[in-house]
Structure 1
């Protein structure tokens, strides 16, 4: 086990419990504000789009109160420059060897030792980009899916309260079913 794998050295926000909150209509506006600020900051680095995704982008869906966003770039070459800039705005870079998702570069925005936003930087053309948008839009268009997904998330949050990776992985079957994968 490396020094980085020892969770006793991790910040509080890296191991916080999963808490699903009631839907908050302010999440959509918060998402728009984050989209704009991130685009303004990152367009100089080749970021083409910043989009609010995830449960907070779906009206009436209970969620962790964390705004999920994704941004696309031509390459990860300038990720260090992006990281330096975003650190001034309370964003923390999670290196790929800790994130274990080679298809993205991941940032967490932290306020008062709690996650308030996630940024998934992906390469243009990444398959997951379109899947994220499609899943969000299917939920937005189908109130019954929202009810089913809310129930699943609530159950999984209880089962995997301290294990974010297991929680996310357990949602995959539902997401793939909705996407027809």
Structure 2
């Protein structure tokens, strides 16, 4: 029996390097297509709305070429049923023990051996839901912040090319400053 907690047992997509690419106007349509498919696959479950979040949801912002979606789920109890519906479509569940974020249940859709879509499922009332939406919307309304964030993301991707967690953590101060209205 293999120990999934050990990095040497993780699939290749779990340790992909950080790659930030130029903004792609097709990301918005790709997100809409994924949301439609998720809505069909998860029909009949206690699911709420889906939102396109993250850098691919902000026009003109360079990003890792991975669509980030966020969805509301009424309970964690349906994860096994959700897995049965999503796994055949290339979705992989990352349990909280590996994800390290208890506030969400995290899914990765893999295409051609690489991450293509992330799905962050959250319970109603989760504070991070509103923070994700607010950050996206503030950047969508501010070309200056988009430029500043783009420069930071490109710099951090270069500095943290082989450490996704460090890349994500290094962006947190900028995100907090935006959300606190200091930028």
Structure 2's unaligned 5+ residue stretches are none
TM-score normalized with structure 2 length: 0.95
1:8 aligns with 2:11: no
The residue aligned with 2:142 is: 142
Cα distance in 2 between the residues matched to 1:60 and 1:80:
37
Matches within 5 A, 1:27-176: 27-176=27-176
* Off by >4 Å, runs of 4+ in structure 1: none
1:58, distance to aligned residue in structure 2 (A): 0.6
Cα distance in 2 between the residues matched to 1:73 and 1:3:
29
Deviation track 1:97-153 (CA, whole Å, cap 9, x = no partner) reads: 000100000000001110000000000110000110110011110000000000111
Kindly report the root-mean-square deviation, in angstroms, between the aligned alpha carbons of the 2 structures. Answer: 1.2
Structure 1's unaligned 5+ residue stretches are none
TM-score normalized with structure 1 length: 0.96
1:162, distance to aligned residue in structure 2 (A): 1.0
Aligned residues: 180
Matches within 5 A, 1:15-26: 15-26=15-26
1:80, distance to aligned residue in structure 2 (A): 1.1
